[in-house]
Structure 1
Amino acid sequence: MNRPQMRTANGALAMSRCIRTLLPLALLMAPMAHAATFDLPAAGLATTLGRIAQQSAREIVYEPSLVSGLQAPAVRGDMSTEQALSQALSGSGLGLDTTEGGVLTLKPLPSGTVNLGETSINARSLDSEEIGDTSYVVKRSRGGTKTDTPLVEVPQSISVVSRKQMDDQAVQDVSQAVRYTPGIYGEYTGSNNSREQFRVRGFSPYVFQDGLMLPYGESGQGSMSEPYGLQSVEVLRGPSSMLYGQSRPGGLINLTSKLPSATPIHQIQVQGGSHDLKQLGFDFGGPLDDQGEWSYRLTGLVKDSGTQVEHVDNNRNFIAPALTWRPNDDTSLTVLAQYQRDWGGTTEQYYPQKGSQQGSPWGHIGSDTLLGDPNYDQMRRESYQLGYLFEHHLNDTWTLRQNLRWSKVNIQNRSTFNNGYASATSPTLLRLASDIKRNIQIFNVDNQAQAHFNTGALEHTLLMGVDFRRNALDNDVVNGTFTSINPYSPTYNGSVSNQYVGRDMYQTQKQTGLYLQDQIKLDRWILTLGGRYDWAKSTSDFRPDRATPRDRVIKQNDEKATWRAGLGYLFDNGVMPYFSYSQSFDPTLNTSVSSTTPIFKPTEGEQYEAGVKYQPPGQDSFITASVYTLTQKNLTTADPLDNRNTVQIGEARSRGFELEGKAVLSHNLSLIASYTYTDSEITKSGYVTSAYTDKGYELPFTPRHQASAWLDYTLDDGPLAGLGLGAGARYTGVLWGSSAVSTVAARDRIQSGNVTVFDAAVHYDLGKLSSELQGTRVAVNASNLFDKDYVTACTNNTACYYGPRRNVIATVTYDW
């Protein structure tokens, strides 16, 4: 007898050979059935069945004639595979059978029976979805497309550091959170509590939170984010101006906030450790009423700590309340606020090369030596945030969003620092003093309209947006000289003299952008196209200072179109090769009061990238590999005819290869591994004299090679059940602190890097000992386990930075 032809909506789970060479242990992972977040537009029923099967790794068997010509409604929300199928089959006259082996089979319902679908679906807005709480692997993100898209379908290299990874590694700042992430290098100014700086593919990135820019300021001298208040850290590599407007070519960092939850959250965390750390954190959240219309999140932290530099404290108060109103399944409004206060001194010390990286006749300057003065130095930072995330589903096709935030940071950073040895035969260091008062404010609003629809065989996710951003900077700098110091036998209580106004300016920038993006699917092909146009207006008001004893106002208007395109093919086994092109646009504000300085053009970047992503269906793992070539134009550089002036003829190029694998190999074994190769070069420059040039040399703070690996294993049976061990290694290859090459030693670039440090962790679930201790976890983490003493970089022979020394943190966490 001829059996009817059956079709399966899920392909084989074969692993491609190139990916198998990276992470063969991924073959050990077994498919798991669990709840997932679906965001499928209305489409043909066969198409929707295929998407559900691919996302859930469940086999769905049916006769093609049963679904021919049938349409499925939109399927959105957190639900099991069975619930998603019931919603897709609603009104189709088809029902669902499940075999003992877990195979899902469609069948016609008896005449007169109507499939109403499951009603017990948690249809939370995707903006409030909590991701990465229990896994290192995050599979979905808004950062790369501003739509909730599986990362495997985004033709761009993106890494996401999950909440679990940050907890397991006991990170204390965002720089530590990205230590195991490819393509990004932080902490190149050492253990720095006054600012965070990063290099992504050789270039400095902007920092965003929930898709809106933060007031990190130029060179990072602005906000510093508290990682305990974050759900994840996204690193988008490559130009992203098409979605975010003003952006640099290497990429950007997007932090995601902890948001209100439909599930109750109660956590208390206590930490103590090196440098007399004492820290208390709390994280509460959940519904406020039985209907789930109101929910909240309240996260806070108090820290009292020293640092690896003597006489320098690092204290913090942090509070972040959030409230969500969800009057129905189609509408949500989340209001977020945040206050953070930091105070102490600064660990950013400028150590002379002789005595730190190199030997000296007088001994060694330790990484704990304060070159400033505890009676003069002080750092005060207060930051505020207030905003909201709004979303409304008009129907199965259209969704409207508006994200808005006002941010402000006030900083006073008063410090004295090294200015070189008094003479070649003297151990005494000359010192300068700086008193910086800075106020940075940013107002962001991003309006979006998103549509899911089909045109024939094409599935569209269309995004249209208008965003506006206003930045304001009030910067007042008073400089002077300070009493000299012998760093080999320091004494303090010095004094400042010869003070003068080094900079007094007020700068504003307004940027408005229109953008359009379409993510188009045809069978397994995924095409992403997007374009944007930006208008930027800036005003720089320089008030009298020592260089120019008069007011001067510089106005600047810029506009630019940017676009990106990407094409990928998603195989049934979860492999997606892709190719993409993208551009960046970043207005260059004039910071000079010289009458000969022109108005600069925006810097422009473009990138070509090709890569492969692999997300095995049903397995908690994600692997990416990418190659790229990236160019930035209109860099400012010295005028070859007069080095006192600045011209805009510079250009830089970066190209490289990045590899990352994250996997939960079993329920008690997780792995992270990454490798980065970066070949950077200054290709055009104004420095063309024989005494001083940077053309043909590497970008600063950009290691040629980076590699890292982290493994966490927990025993789940036997007398030691609940005991876990974590171990990691991080390698940083050779890098240079500047691009300048000179016959004058004081101006010549300095090499550092080629360093490997190790991290370790021990954790134990006390609930395995007694049910009365359920929810209690203790952990001890050690970064730089063997206390390697090293210099991260030297910008010149008077400014070297020590890397973070061994730091041990004990943590007790109680969840209920």
Structure 2
Amino acid sequence: MRVFDSSPRRPANVFLAGCSLIAVLAGSSAAHAQQATPAIELDPVVIEATGTAPGDGPGGGLTSAGYVARDTTIATKTDTDVRKIPQSIGTVSREELENRNVQSLVEAARYTAGVRAGQFGFDPRFDTIYVRGFNVTDTGFYRDGLRSLGGSFSVFRHEPYLLQGVTILKGPSSMLYGSGAPGGIVNVISKRPTETPFHEIEAQVGSHSRVQGNFDLSGPVPSSENLFYRLTGVWRSADTEFIAARDDRVSIAPALTFRSSDKNTELTVLGEYTEFTSGGSAGWYTTPQGQITGLQHGDPNYKDYDGQQFRIGYEFSHRFNEHLAFRQNLRYQNVDTDMKYVSILGLDPVQGVANRYAARLVDNSEGIAVDNQLQANFNLGPVANTVLAGLDYNNVSYRYRYGFGTAGPLSLAFPNYGMTLVQPPVSLDGYEQRTRQEQLGVYVQDQIEFNRFVLTVGGRHDWLETRNKYPLSSSRSEQNDSKFTGRVGLAYLFDNGFSPYASYSTSFAPTIGTSRDGSSFKPTEGQQEEIGLRYTPSDLNLSVSAALFRIKQSSILIPDPTDPNFRIQQGEVESRGFEVQAMTSLTDSLNLTAAYTYLDMEYLNGDDRGNMPAGIPDHQFSVWGNYEFSSGFAQGVGIGFGTRVISKSWADDANTSRNPSRVLFDATLSYDFSHLSESLKGVRAQVSAKNLFDDRVPTCVNSYCYREEGRSVIGSLRYRF
């Protein structure tokens, strides 16, 4: 079962009172504050090639030139030059998403340093991402800076075509975002309205009977100077390599921006509705001895994992003057999922069959997230200050139910998928849980600039409450937590583009449950020390970053040595490593990104003391390049090629066996038809291939084994006008 770790609460009247106070101070509200005269006069980055993908709307928290990020809000919640940020970040621009023809969030993160994407192999149902050795899937996914709330299986899907980019903040991030894993957060950025007209339609066909259509329309609303729109949509029908899992999707994402004539007030409304169908089972049976087989879980007679998700929200900002601004971001979101599946219980070699069972799981969740920010920019003599004060609130409730049925055995000699009787559960009386979680956080941050020093310091306090109800047993539980977290970092900016930095940050995550004596577990705690160096020359569209880090997470659960039926909160794990990433868009024709990660992660106590967690590779290396010929006989032809090297990892926490290393290759080939005729301007064809040589080497993680996604080829034809 997937474990969801979100944030409980504090009485809502405190939140409402805080909002009312800020609203009184703000009056109306929207856009970023104009910076006061900075203490540091940075040389502007001058590049000949903008490299920005057409259709990138303003805002969203990421400004990039090609692959290279210039400004982002993910690390400070203010629009900040990346050279001033004392913490490692990863970015994937819209142009990179298009060059690699990214089809999932896992694919988007594959070429980012410090990230292990797809830890559990190919799974069309969920996105699984580890950052610096920690799983951020359940607590670290954000959209437009707000947490993506959900339940155990009612989790949000992220369609890359609807995104403007992806940003990854590495390391503990509770000071700005509240409870979460110490590895960091993954933030996806919605496409926003553009000031100039933009229109695009695209058709795709590919492996596993894949057929997809996309459209993206944006620009000013006719007869209006202050109103802009965007409408993006996706329709997909596709099988997968699993016999009982599809990858169907219908998504529609409208957006509308209103901007006042003086540009001091801005309101952007962002919506999305998605229906998707995948498979309740998507994996391979692993024997009790930890050996993967060629038998798939699932059966065509009872297979669908259906879901609908809906979100609506806004980003509102108001600039009072050049020194003071207020912002409020709010989103309501709802997910309903219905999962039907057949799984293998075990093998009976005597009878020559695999015994199976059927089950149905229904999970529904809804929630609201809001973040209020008041930003002040002012100088104290030679010192420039950017002060951010915020109050945010998250509330999610979900209902989780399941029931069991029966399924006929599967022949080992001739697997008879879809040919045996499946009796679905007659009810969902097997289990039911209702959970309500609330979190209220108050934070303050100051970015202090003096000469070429940039000091970032901040603190936050959170109140959390979790309420669980189990109707079948008439039992209830309630847990309250509160925690203070902080961050301090210092960067220095040299004239030649080098900017070294050092930082310390903390995080926490609630731990649900009780110990043997009945007392509630306290939140786990994470601490990180990081030193790094960035190189971003002003005369070259290049960014190179390197970081050395140590993260320790304490108070994790381990078995109670006096009674294995209970757990105690004495576990610790430490992640130490080094990562480096280089990104460049030297011209409009050439884009490159390369990343290397070394990770040394180990348990500090318990039965596995001194061992490395299962499935975490020691080394990862990746490089991707895309080049389009601008002259000569091959003018208009684009070539992209990438490789991902993943070293050996342990197959179990006891470190008794190893997963083999692997080298995976991706490639694309494209052509811009405008070079044939001016009448074909805007027409572009592309063929992309993932795992080009079909490497299916398995990865085992504590008695469960998974395979990499096999070779997949997609052809696209796009028209922009």
TM-score (norm 1): 0.79
The alpha-carbon distance between structure 1 residues 437 and 764, as it changes in their structure 2 partners (threshold 3 A), is: same
Match of 1:558 among 476, 481, 485: 481
Could you tell me which amino acid in structure 2 is paired with residue 247 of structure 1? G
The alpha-carbon distance between structure 1 residues 772 and 459, as it changes in their structure 2 partners (threshold 3 A), is: same
Count residues with an aligned counterpart: 678
Could you tell me which amino acid in structure 2 is paired with residue 789 of structure 1? R
1:207 aligns with 2:135: no
Q: Could you say what secondary structure the match of 1:43 adopts? A: coil
Between Structure 1 and Structure 2, whose CA radius of gyration is higher? 1
Note the C-alpha offset of 1:428.
2.9
Contact in 2 for aligned 1:371/1:485 (Cα 8 Å): no
Q: In the alignment, which residue of structure 2 is the partner of 1:725?
A: 639
CA distance in structure 1 between the partners assigned to 2:510 and 2:538 by the alignment: 43
Identify unmatched segments of 5+ residues in structure 1. 1-36, 59-78, 80-123, 359-363, 545-549, 686-692, 742-748
Could you tell me which amino acid in structure 2 is paired with residue 696 of structure 1? G
Match of 2:678 among 765, 771, 774: 771
1:158 aligns with 2:97: no
Q: In the alignment, which residue of structure 1 is the partner of 2:716?
A: 811
Note the C-alpha offset of 1:501.
4.2
1:273 aligns with 2:206: yes
Q: In the alignment, which residue of structure 1 is the partner of 2:36?
A: 42
Could you tell me which amino acid in structure 2 is paired with residue 140 of structure 1? D
444-453 or 491-500: bigger deviation: 491-500
Match of 1:389 among 310, 315, 335: 315
Match of 1:306 among 214, 229, 239: 239
1:598-617 aligned within 5 A: 598-617=519-538
Match of 2:70 among 130, 136, 139: 139
Q: In the alignment, which residue of structure 2 is the partner of 1:171?
A: 102
1:660-675 aligned within 5 A: 660-675=581-596
More RCO (CA 8 Å, sep 6+): 2
Q: Could you say what secondary structure the match of 2:176 adopts? A: helix
CA distance in structure 2 between the partners assigned to 1:704 and 1:595 by the alignment: 36
- Deviations, residues 632-669 of structure 1 (Å, cap 9, x unaligned): 11112211111111222211111101110101133311
Q: In the alignment, which residue of structure 2 is the partner of 1:399?
A: 325
Note the C-alpha offset of 1:711.
1.1
The alpha-carbon distance between structure 1 residues 223 and 753, as it changes in their structure 2 partners (threshold 3 A), is: farther
The alpha-carbon distance between structure 1 residues 495 and 731, as it changes in their structure 2 partners (threshold 3 A), is: same
Could you tell me which amino acid in structure 2 is paired with residue 43 of structure 1? T
Match of 1:439 among 338, 342, 364: 364
Q: In the alignment, which residue of structure 2 is the partner of 1:513?
A: 441
1:423-462 aligned within 5 A: 423=349, 428-462=353-387
1:49-198 aligned within 5 A: 50-51=41-42, 53-56=43-46, 127=59, 131-132=63-64, 135-198=66-129
1:528 aligns with 2:491: no
Match of 1:352 among 264, 276, 286: 286
Q: Could you say what secondary structure the match of 2:438 adopts? A: strand
Contact in 2 for aligned 1:353/1:794 (Cα 8 Å): no
Between the aligned residues of both structures, percent identity stands at: 35
Q: In the alignment, which residue of structure 1 is the partner of 2:400?
A: 475
Q: In the alignment, which residue of structure 1 is the partner of 2:180?
A: 247
The alpha-carbon distance between structure 1 residues 221 and 705, as it changes in their structure 2 partners (threshold 3 A), is: farther
CA distance in structure 1 between the partners assigned to 2:304 and 2:393 by the alignment: 35
CA distance in structure 2 between the partners assigned to 1:515 and 1:575 by the alignment: 30
Q: In the alignment, which residue of structure 2 is the partner of 1:571?
A: 494
Identify unmatched segments of 5+ residues in structure 2. 1-30, 51-55
CA distance in structure 1 between the partners assigned to 2:666 and 2:413 by the alignment: 30
CA distance in structure 1 between the partners assigned to 2:83 and 2:590 by the alignment: 23
CA distance in structure 2 between the partners assigned to 1:40 and 1:587 by the alignment: 37
CA distance in structure 2 between the partners assigned to 1:728 and 1:228 by the alignment: 21
- Deviations, residues 514-554 of structure 1 (Å, cap 9, x unaligned): 0000011111101000000001111111222xxxxx21111
Q: What is the aligned-residue RMSD (CA, Å)?
A: 2.5
Contact in 1 for aligned 2:32/2:319 (Cα 8 Å): no
CA distance in structure 1 between the partners assigned to 2:221 and 2:542 by the alignment: 35
The alpha-carbon distance between structure 1 residues 357 and 725, as it changes in their structure 2 partners (threshold 3 A), is: farther
Q: In the alignment, which residue of structure 2 is the partner of 1:224?
A: 157
Contact in 2 for aligned 1:192/1:347 (Cα 8 Å): no
Q: In the alignment, which residue of structure 1 is the partner of 2:503?
A: 580
The alpha-carbon distance between structure 1 residues 730 and 504, as it changes in their structure 2 partners (threshold 3 A), is: same
The alpha-carbon distance between structure 1 residues 571 and 815, as it changes in their structure 2 partners (threshold 3 A), is: same
Could you tell me which amino acid in structure 2 is paired with residue 393 of structure 1? R
Note the C-alpha offset of 1:701.
2.9
Contact in 2 for aligned 1:597/1:646 (Cα 8 Å): no
1:681 aligns with 2:602: yes
Q: In the alignment, which residue of structure 2 is the partner of 1:653?
A: 574
CA distance in structure 2 between the partners assigned to 1:353 and 1:619 by the alignment: 54
Note the C-alpha offset of 1:684.
2.3
CA distance in structure 2 between the partners assigned to 1:168 and 1:786 by the alignment: 20
CA distance in structure 2 between the partners assigned to 1:55 and 1:140 by the alignment: 11
Match of 1:235 among 168, 175, 185: 168
Note the C-alpha offset of 1:286.
0.8
Q: Could you say what secondary structure the match of 1:804 adopts? A: coil
Q: In the alignment, which residue of structure 2 is the partner of 1:318?
A: 251
TM-score (norm 2): 0.90
Contact in 2 for aligned 1:298/1:322 (Cα 8 Å): yes
Q: In the alignment, which residue of structure 1 is the partner of 2:691?
A: 784
- Deviations, residues 725-764 of structure 1 (Å, cap 9, x unaligned): 11100011122354246xxxxxxx6532411111111011
The alpha-carbon distance between structure 1 residues 718 and 57, as it changes in their structure 2 partners (threshold 3 A), is: closer
- Deviations, residues 556-598 of structure 1 (Å, cap 9, x unaligned): 11001000000010111111110000000111223x8x98654
Q: In the alignment, which residue of structure 1 is the partner of 2:10?
A: none
Could you tell me which amino acid in structure 2 is paired with residue 764 of structure 1? Y
Q: In the alignment, which residue of structure 2 is the partner of 1:83?
A: none
Note the C-alpha offset of 1:498.
8.9
Note the C-alpha offset of 1:502.
4.3
Match of 1:711 among 625, 630, 643: 625
CA distance in structure 1 between the partners assigned to 2:670 and 2:381 by the alignment: 54
Q: In the alignment, which residue of structure 1 is the partner of 2:662?
A: 755
- Deviations, residues 126-154 of structure 1 (Å, cap 9, x unaligned): 6357744x711122111111001011211
The alpha-carbon distance between structure 1 residues 726 and 600, as it changes in their structure 2 partners (threshold 3 A), is: same
The alpha-carbon distance between structure 1 residues 675 and 700, as it changes in their structure 2 partners (threshold 3 A), is: same
CA distance in structure 2 between the partners assigned to 1:265 and 1:125 by the alignment: 10
CA distance in structure 2 between the partners assigned to 1:256 and 1:470 by the alignment: 21
Contact in 2 for aligned 1:135/1:164 (Cα 8 Å): yes
CA distance in structure 1 between the partners assigned to 2:33 and 2:545 by the alignment: 23
Match of 2:414 among 489, 493, 503: 489
CA distance in structure 1 between the partners assigned to 2:202 and 2:573 by the alignment: 46
Contact in 2 for aligned 1:188/1:793 (Cα 8 Å): no
The alpha-carbon distance between structure 1 residues 736 and 147, as it changes in their structure 2 partners (threshold 3 A), is: same
Note the C-alpha offset of 1:178.
0.6
Contact in 1 for aligned 2:282/2:298 (Cα 8 Å): no
565-574 or 496-505: bigger deviation: 496-505
Note the C-alpha offset of 1:246.
1.2
Contact in 1 for aligned 2:36/2:384 (Cα 8 Å): no
1:294 aligns with 2:227: yes
Note the C-alpha offset of 1:787.
1.1
Q: In the alignment, which residue of structure 2 is the partner of 1:16?
A: none
CA distance in structure 2 between the partners assigned to 1:553 and 1:315 by the alignment: 38
Note the C-alpha offset of 1:679.
0.8
Note the C-alpha offset of 1:489.
2.1
Could you tell me which amino acid in structure 1 is paired with residue 422 of structure 2? S
Could you tell me which amino acid in structure 2 is paired with residue 756 of structure 1? V
